[in-house]
Chain A
Amino acid sequence: MRVGLFVTCLGDTLFPEAPQAVVRVLERLGHDVEFPTEQTCCGQLHGNSGYRDEAFKLAERFERIFEGFDAIVSPSSSCVGMIREYRPTLAPRVFEFSEFLVSRLGVVDVDAHFRHRVTYHPTCHSLRVAKVGDAPLRLLRAVRGLELVELPHATECCGFGGTFAVKNAETSTAMLAAKCSAILSTGAQVCTAVDNSCLLQISGGLARGRSGVRTMHLAEILAS
């Protein structure tokens, strides 16, 4: 199986730890991972802001770069959802990372060790667009030493929403405040999720409050 890694523009530029972790976990499981260097962005930024033509071109470009792969794996449910919508022919071969492990590879235990109290934020697009279900939770439960604590009002949006966080900054901040206090109420040391965009928002709120709670992409925990 030829596995192509789609790191996403955000993962490439701001969160390289997440795609690096994906590489480590997949190689540990015996898979070769390729990184097509021509890749850039799936087009979601444009698509979600009303620039459909630009989004369509970027999605088309994405398909050209990734068409030879049996599986395209990405540490972002949001970008996976975007590709599935704009390039339906690729849809059966595009996977969010946790979904790839659990549904495609049938692996739940990736031999990870992580001695921390962790809470999981199910991002809106992982729940309602990519529909990864409980794959992330099953993976987390199999991590040695990890104490998983439930996040209250888990399914409520963190307030990121791409350009929403800029166009409606005050409302976004009010939503973020609720998410941060829910996270703090769990006593978790780490908040994890499968989308770095949401983690960017959440870590921005947590860091400003000097909470000491860290955010980590699920892949980083699984690579530990």
Chain B
Amino acid sequence: MTSFPDAARVTLGDAQLRRNLGNATSTIRDKRARVVAEVPDWEQLRNAGRAIKSDVMHRLDEYLIQFESAVQEAGGHVHWACDAAEANAVVLDVARAHGATEVVKVKSLTTDEIELNDALEAGGVRAIETDFAELILQLDGDWSSHILVPAIHRNRTEIRDLFLRTIAAPPLSDNPSALAEVARVYLREKFLTAKVGVSGANFAVAETGTVVVVESEGNGRMCTTLPPVLVTVVGIEKLVPTFTDLEVFLQLLPRSSTGERMNPYTSLWTGVTDGDGPQEFHVVLLDNGRTRVLSDEVGRQALHCIRCSACLNVCPVYSRTGGHAYGSVYPGPIGAILTPQLLGVENAKTLPYASTLCGACYEVCPVKIDIPAVLLHLRAEVVKAAGGTPERAVMRMVARAFGGAGRYGIAQRLARLLQGPARRLPGPVATWTQTRKLKPLPKETFRQWWSRERGA
């Protein structure tokens, strides 16, 4: 994976991209703050969300078995997948069994995580993304930069030009409703002809086997009701114990994510119903690193995430770098703690440092994931995995200097001696003085002043 600072440079150097991002994140941020302030028991809801998810993590084995039985009882098929390859194979097999060359898809991070579209393509099946923003990215060969608004880095003129190159004939204005109409006409035919629909899930209820998809455009409702066959890929952390637990999350999620009181479409289905909706239903329960995350007592709270993206919108780092810098389908603060755990810290070692620890993410998280605490925990893991680096040597030296007032006083005097006239910091810390003026060291330290004044 490209290091975060290197990957961040792309967006930092693109003024248009930064404007698109800055405008979009601040709009959603303000909207969220308004609708959250309306809810008098918001804190209690957050506490409940955290408590329910924490219970799920402690008894995940039981809930998964319970969910499997409930789905089977309701006429659905359940598949267990250890990794991306196993999950993708299940979806491909189902599509092939029905002779499908195209499947219609609901926007789903989990299927992005396992790169399902590529796997299907390799097997001769084309996946059509039906979420407006996902469609934009798919047509352009681009990838998502935001959990909720994948094309947040694109503006409408760029989208108009893209549609003209791909699925629309001129003339076409960049008016949002004209752009939406192009997508609507293109997608309607896909919805009506696809034999297989593919979705992820926002929640899966252990007690009843019910699967929930929350969305805004109605494309999800189309994908999960029109094709005769439906395959749903569910990360094992998406379970909630009972149907009534949904009450908490269906309040937390829309207000936190889109800043709406309620989302436009909430689809719930349980197995197969005669004469209504898909007559064949498959659930793929996906691990893909999640049980490893679960084994980490501090880090496992990352699995509580309900993918609302509130942490992205308030993050001062994300709003400057955009999502691509995080090198995974999970960008922003949640990505910075989830990706290193899913892939192993040695494979994403700059991500835990992609934060100032300002804590804005923790403040808005609807399930109270203490992201700064997990970042610190992962930084310690990175240091442990890295072994003897030059940084470690310096840190040890500094710790030694801090270990006694005598040594510390010598270090202070040495710093003043070494302070160059140009006041540029040396070596790896030189980057600081490239854009900031460094304050000169004062004539005397506090302790020198104290001993002169107070004679101690």
Interface residues of A (CB under 8 A from B): 7, 9, 11-17, 19-20, 35, 37-41, 43, 45-52, 54, 57-58, 61, 124-125, 127-129, 155-157, 159-176, 178, 200-201, 203-205, 207-208
In the complex, 24 of the A-B residue pairs with CB atoms within 8 angstroms, ordered by the A residue number, are A11-B446, A12-B412, A12-B445, A12-B447, A13-B446, A16-B446, A41-B408, A45-B398, A46-B395, A46-B399, A48-B357, A128-B360, A128-B362, A128-B363, A166-B429, A166-B431, A170-B12, A171-B354, A175-B320, A176-B436, A178-B316, A201-B436, A205-B435, A205-B436
Give the interface segment out of B211-219, B261-269, B374-382: B374-382
Which of A20, A35, A156, A161 is B357 in contact with, Cβ under 8 Å?
Answer: A161
**Counting chain A CB atoms within 10 Å of each CB, which of B9, B353, B402, B454 scores highest?**
B402
> Is A16 in contact with B431, judged by CB distance below 8 angstroms?
no
B 393-416 binary contact with A (CB < 8 Å = 1; else 0): 001101101111100100010010
- The interface residues of chain B lying within 8 Å CB-to-CB of A16 are 442, 444-446, 449
Q: Which residues, 402 to 456 on B, are CB-close (under 8 Å) to A?
A: 402-405, 408, 412, 415, 428-429, 431-432, 434-439, 441-442, 444-447, 449-451, 454, 456
Chain A residue at minimal CB-CB distance from B415:
A13
Q: Which of B322-361 contact A (CB under 8 A)?
A: 350, 352-360
Is the CB–CB distance between A170 and B316 below 8 Å?
Answer: no
**Identity of the chain A residue whose Cβ is nearest the Cβ of B442 in the assembled complex:** A16
Contact A129 B359 (CB under 8 A): yes
The answer to whether B444 touches A49 (Cβ under 8 A) is no
Q: Is the CB of B405 within 8 A of A39?
A: yes
* Whole-angstrom distance between the Cβ of B357 and the nearest chain A Cβ: 6
Report the separation of the CA atoms of residues A47 and B373 in the bound assembly, to the nearest whole angstrom.
11
What is the distance, in angstroms, from B154's C-beta to the closest C-beta of chain A? 20
How far is the CB of A60 from the nearest CB of chain B, in Å? Answer: 11
Q: Which residues of chain A come closer than 8 Å to B401, judged between CB atoms?
A: 40
| Contact of B379 (CB < 8 Å), options: A20, A48, A127, A172 | A48
By a CB distance below 8 angstroms, the chain A residues around B4 are 168
**Chain B nearest Cβ from A194, distance in angstroms:** 15
Q: Apart from A35-B456, A200-B439, what 6 extra A-B contacts exist at CB < 8 Å?
A: A47-B376, A49-B395, A51-B383, A128-B362, A168-B5, A175-B356
